[in-house]
Amino acid sequence: MEFTSFSGAKRTVASDAARRADFDEIPIISLTASKEEILAKLTDACTRIGFFYVKDHGVPQEKVDRMFELAQNFFAQDLSKKNEINYKKSNILRGYEPPAEVRTDETRKPDLNEAFNWGYERSLDPLWSRTDDTEEWQDNPMSGPNAWPNFPDFKETISAYYADVLALARRMIRLFAEVLLLPPNFFDPLVSTPGAMGRMIHYPPQKPSDPNALGIGAHTDIECFTILCQGTVPALQILNVNGDWIEAPPIPGTFVVNIGDMLARWTNDRFISTVHRVWNITGQERYSIPFFFGVNYDATIKTLDSCLDEGQKSKYEPVLAGEYVWKRLSKSRLGPEEVSAAA
């Protein structure tokens, strides 16, 4: 079986069966290690695997725990209550996303999950200068306000978590710049008001007998990179270079970080955007909280000269970040007739 990612890369899939990752297949990187060790491990992970765990990341466990408690309570509501902020009421796909309305892998059934989506607002960013009088919403398809529900402590809990993970993401992109032999602050002007989107996701258990029904189908992520908090239930699977699905189990106190298509485009695929999926056959409810970190929506993503050998041409045309994200996200959302047909 062959799978084509949105970046255009063709990946051969040996089978739908998955095995647990060996100890050293997905490295664990401590962010309190020496700079030399961190950069060496990041270089290997970003150019060989596209996935790694980070520990000692500075996000307090109590904020993580509150997010998962919030997710369980929010998704336990009646559908009618959640649909008060249905994402289709938002021009930028923010709010509540009901089950089976997204098809990440076009060769499979719609994704078996429900989600709440939110994105960057200046009020969520501790670094935002209140003396900045520029327009908050840029003129592109992905900029605009969030859709917050009328739910106890909802925005407050998300805001506290989001601020810490946003700070971690800005730290990580500085490290990625150094891996690419660029000044640490190279990306700083491009992430002042970043396309930093969060999701809370609820996955019901899936039937092992139906491999066409996945929590999230095989895909590569859109943005520069993802910081994922998995919870406690394993379901994340990564496609390795041999075409095997390997499980990336939850490890307490860590986040999973994976490279997305924006950084793949920027580096002409020196950084690997790896195909992955979610298949929850544990018999348990699963919750996860991914955070997708991209650049300002008015930034242009163009292959770095330092990632091109002499005379080499880029594999990718320059793209405007906001338009790129909008096209990718809107393509995966199903219309009413498709939702009815899939039901």
Instruction: Report the pLDDT value the prediction gives residue 106, as an integer from 0 to 100.
Output: 79
* Rg of the chain, C-alpha, whole Å: 19
Locate the domains of the chain by residue range: 2-342
Instruction: Report the pLDDT value the prediction gives residue 207, as an integer from 0 to 100.
Output: 80
Residue 12's Cβ-count burial label (10 Å; 0-12, 13-18, 19+) is exposed
Q: Give yes or no for residue 285 having a pLDDT over 60.
A: yes
Which residues lie closer than 8 Å to 311 by C-beta, 6 or more apart? Answer: none
Instruction: Tell me the mean pLDDT in the region 260-289.
Output: 94
* Residue 340 pLDDT level (bands cut at 50, 70, 90): very low
Instruction: Tell me the mean pLDDT in the region 18-35.
Output: 78
Structure-token pair, residue 43? 């270089």
Structure-token pair, residue 20? 């647990």
Dist CA 310 CA 213 (whole Å): 46
User: Considering the domain 2-342 in this protein, what is its CATH number?
Assistant: 2.60.120.330
Dist CA 129 CA 147 (whole Å): 23
Instruction: Report the pLDDT value the prediction gives residue 235, as an integer from 0 to 100.
Output: 93
Dist CA 53 CA 260 (whole Å): 15
Instruction: Report the pLDDT value the prediction gives residue 44, as an integer from 0 to 100.
Output: 93
Instruction: Report the pLDDT value the prediction gives residue 91, as an integer from 0 to 100.
Output: 85
Q: Where are the alpha helices (DSSP H) in the chain?
A: 35-48, 61-75, 79-82, 154-179, 261-266, 321-332, 336-342
